[in-house]
Structure 1
């Protein structure tokens, strides 16, 4: 039996852009195979804000709670980067406000209307109808994971 998950509890955060210095970044690449000897590293500063946030006034963070998007790589407790200035498109992952609750799902626009698709076979797709209170709140641009 498929579980019906209409919402995922999301906790929202604003980005802290007060520090623009960034962390130390070694621009030599890091081998995922055999280590290679490196005589010198080119050291720079890397700001994750500059890498992940294109429009700071419209960007928010939210923490995922739930399992409906694990097939898309969004696991419980991951941190989403959400840009509210981007236009939602078919196939994009979006944070939506549906019937009083937030949910994150993949958008599917078909001849039969708009669908919110989970990425876990245990959950059912949600068709958006005129009866729903529905807003696409923002488009997910990145996910930050703890290992």
Structure 2
């Protein structure tokens, strides 16, 4: 586990045999439906959420700069370092000694880090910044 001011990183445990039960009958979000015998198969959330195990990490969100993108404080991000960083992707970036998660804006050979909360400023990346796109967010795990 690595801790930054804005994110806390975790590495998936590929040797873990922690399996959850998948109930694949469709859970109604409208009117309740009656199901007599619910049976489920065992699935690995790592297998369901991670395509590239060697390049994927988890990180917990700290702060509120991405709330309008559905990323809230303490949400768990699934981040793949092997994916291409393109315009409009949500990325974990390293900038001037800190990690942050923002939406990428790539236009006219410029990179901007766009928060999804109007209370936070847009960051224009210049040659003066120590900057690296660390990975692309592929999934978000939320507590309810």
| TM-score normalised by L of structure 1 | 0.90
- Runs (5+) with no aligned partner, structure 1: 1-6
Alignment match, 2:24: 27
1:18 aligns with 2:3: no
1:82 aligns to what?
Answer: 79
Aligned counterparts, 1:41-52, within 5 A: 41-52=38-49
TM-score by length of 2: 0.91
Q: Which residue of 2 aligns with 1:130?
A: 127
Cα-Cα RMSD: 1.6
For this pair of structures, how many residues does the alignment match? Answer: 141
Pairwise mapping of residues 91-130 of structure 1 onto structure 2 (< 5 A)? 91-111=88-108, 113-130=110-127
Whether the 8 Å contact between 1:21 and 1:45 is mirrored in structure 2 is no
Cα distance in 1 for partners of 2:77, 2:129 equals 25
Unaligned runs of 5+ in 2: none
Task: Spell out structure 1 runs of 4+ moving beyond 3 A.
Answer: 39-42
